[in-house]
Structure 1
Amino acid sequence: MTTIVRQSPCVECTGALAHAVALCLRPGDVVRLEADLGGGKTTFVRALATALGATGVSSPTFVIINRYAVPAGGLPLSGGHLIHVDAYRVGDVEELANAGWDRLFEGSTPRGDAVALVEWPARIDAALPPPEVCLCISLTPTGETARRIELRVPDAWGGRAEAVSLIEREPVICPVSGVWVSPVNPEYPFASARARMADLGKWFGESFRSSRGIEPEDVDEL
């Protein structure tokens, strides 16, 4: 597994990271999401769901499991489903049967075209794939909205281009629009192609100038 740590100063930065995770997912994946109460797990799930286009995501604390449709489109998980599990109130894995686990999972793997995000995974560890094959995310508050986010990425994800970007890049603020940019955004470090062109336009429009005059050696290098 590859372990990376990101220091998120705000909800928007965390959302950009959740967006990157969303685009890494493939059917059958399981994400183990750990944090103390109020640590931001459900907020992370909502941001991830938004990136997938899934709507109406809420904390499933009292129903244990919720399932959301992912709209058809160009994403790897398009047309699939997002399963959100909150195991906080589960006392034993046997209780999962009453929550409809067997209908949504084949053993420990999400059925069909679904992925699963599991809060409090340690409480149902026996029902989940081993951590080595899951994406494991740990959130630790470092401020009111700031979080230390540790991600342990399974080796099997090495062939996914989005996972490589997730590992190698951090969320950044777009120098043109000022919004947070996901590590997997194809226009990174810009928020959009329009922002990239606007930045390029500044150069062509001489918005950026050299801080010194042209020297003879500069001409020689042309």
Structure 2
Amino acid sequence: MNLQVTTHSEDQTFLLGRALGAVLRPGDFLSLDGELGAGKTRLVRGMVGGAGLPTAAVNSPTYVIAQEYTLGSISAGEKTNGGGASSLRIVHVDAYRLRGVDELESVGWDALISSQESPLHRPIVLIEWADRIERALPKGDTRGSIRISHDGDGGPDDSTRVFDITLPASWKARPEWVEFEKVTSVMNEPNAVPETDRGVAQPAKRGSTICPITGKLVPPDSPTYPFTDERARMADLSRWLSGGYVVSREITAEDLDEVGPGESA
């Protein structure tokens, strides 16, 4: 099953990853390829978040080759294929510095791909620069792949990316697939409102968008647009009040000139 998705900002790349991360199950492998700076690690950060792990710990493991993120105990049916509780793990591999599959032994590769372990206890494996270890990757319906390419003017501010995604057809049966499909379709809409435009009234032309808090689809006529619901709106407000958001530039002299008498910046 093949699909192509275009994102126009780093935030959208993160949201795409988050939607896909919710689909992943123990034992899944996802290979990621693209040039340096393509957005592989940002996509991984989104996928880890989509699986339920705080994303602050996610960085490219170039020098350590592999990092493991644990999500704690979850109940059957949430992120497993049934059969009891599971401690979900995500292993993030960066094969950039590897010279061949022989060096995979240092990260315990044989254990990662072993079919002897119960499916509930296998990790989700996300592999950057996977083309360098192609011979070692498993085949079948547990593996997907993503190739990322630039699709803009190539300038320093260009954040447009094209994701060519190949996933097993069996993944469509997973409950989270419906939401993933909605997210990808919105990102491919030419008139989709970017999540960075929230707060700007566009009643006549605005399209469906993706909630910056939940990552779910929000229709243009939603009373809480661009948020999924009132709870998401309040969570966004809380981030502003707690300092979770910051202004993207310093205050300038021109800004101060706009402050009226008796007011303060």
TM norm. shorter chain > 0.5: yes
State the AA in 1 paired with 2:69: Y
Give the equivalent residue in structure 2 for 1:152: 166
State the SS of the aligned residue for 2:145.
strand
Cα deviation, residue 191, structure 1: 3.0
Distance 1:48 1:79, change over 3 A: same
Q: Identify unmatched segments of 5+ residues in structure 2.
A: 81-85, 153-157, 201-208, 220-225, 234-265
- Say yes or no: does 1:192 pair with 2:228: yes
Alignment map for 1:121-200 (pairs within 5 Å) = 121-130=130-139, 133-143=142-152, 144-168=158-182, 169-171=185-187, 173=193, 180-181=210-211, 188-189=218-219, 191-194=227-230
> Aligned equivalents of 2:116 and 2:135: distance in 1?
9
Distance 1:193 1:85, change over 3 A: same
Give the equivalent residue in structure 2 for 1:57: 58
How many pairs are equivalent? 196
Could you report, residue by residue, the CA deviation over 1:22-58 in whole angstroms, capped at 9, with x for unpaired residues? 1000111111111111111111112222332244111
In structure 2, which of residues 111, 114, 120 is the aligned counterpart of residue 106 of structure 1?
Answer: 114
The percentage of aligned residue pairs carrying the same residue is 29
- Say yes or no: does 1:68 pair with 2:69: yes
Asked if the contact 2:27/2:142 (under 8 Å) is kept, the reply is no
Q: Identify unmatched segments of 5+ residues in structure 1.
A: 198-222
Give the equivalent residue in structure 2 for 1:44: 43
Asked if the contact 2:72/2:87 (under 8 Å) is kept, the reply is yes
> Aligned equivalents of 2:73 and 2:228: distance in 1?
22
> Aligned equivalents of 1:185 and 1:126: distance in 2?
35
Could you report, residue by residue, the CA deviation over 1:102-128 in whole angstroms, capped at 9, with x for unpaired residues? 343316998824101011111111211
RMSD of Structure 2 on Structure 1 (CA): 3.3
Cα deviation, residue 65, structure 1: 1.1
> Aligned equivalents of 1:145 and 1:79: distance in 2?
35
State the SS of the aligned residue for 2:121.
coil
Cα deviation, residue 147, structure 1: 0.7
TM-score scaled to structure 1, two decimals?
A: 0.73
Could you report, residue by residue, the CA deviation over 1:78-114 in whole angstroms, capped at 9, with x for unpaired residues? 8411100111111121111122223433169988241
Asked if the contact 1:34/1:137 (under 8 Å) is kept, the reply is yes
State the SS of the aligned residue for 1:116.
strand
Asked if the contact 1:39/1:141 (under 8 Å) is kept, the reply is yes
Q: Which has the higher contact order (CA 8 A, sep 6+)?
A: 1
Asked if the contact 1:6/1:170 (under 8 Å) is kept, the reply is no
State the SS of the aligned residue for 1:24.
coil
In structure 2, which of residues 80, 84, 95 is the aligned counterpart of residue 87 of structure 1?
Answer: 95
TM-score scaled to structure 2, two decimals?
A: 0.63
State the SS of the aligned residue for 1:149.
strand
Asked if the contact 2:151/2:160 (under 8 Å) is kept, the reply is yes
Cα deviation, residue 187, structure 1: 5.7
State the AA in 1 paired with 2:186: E
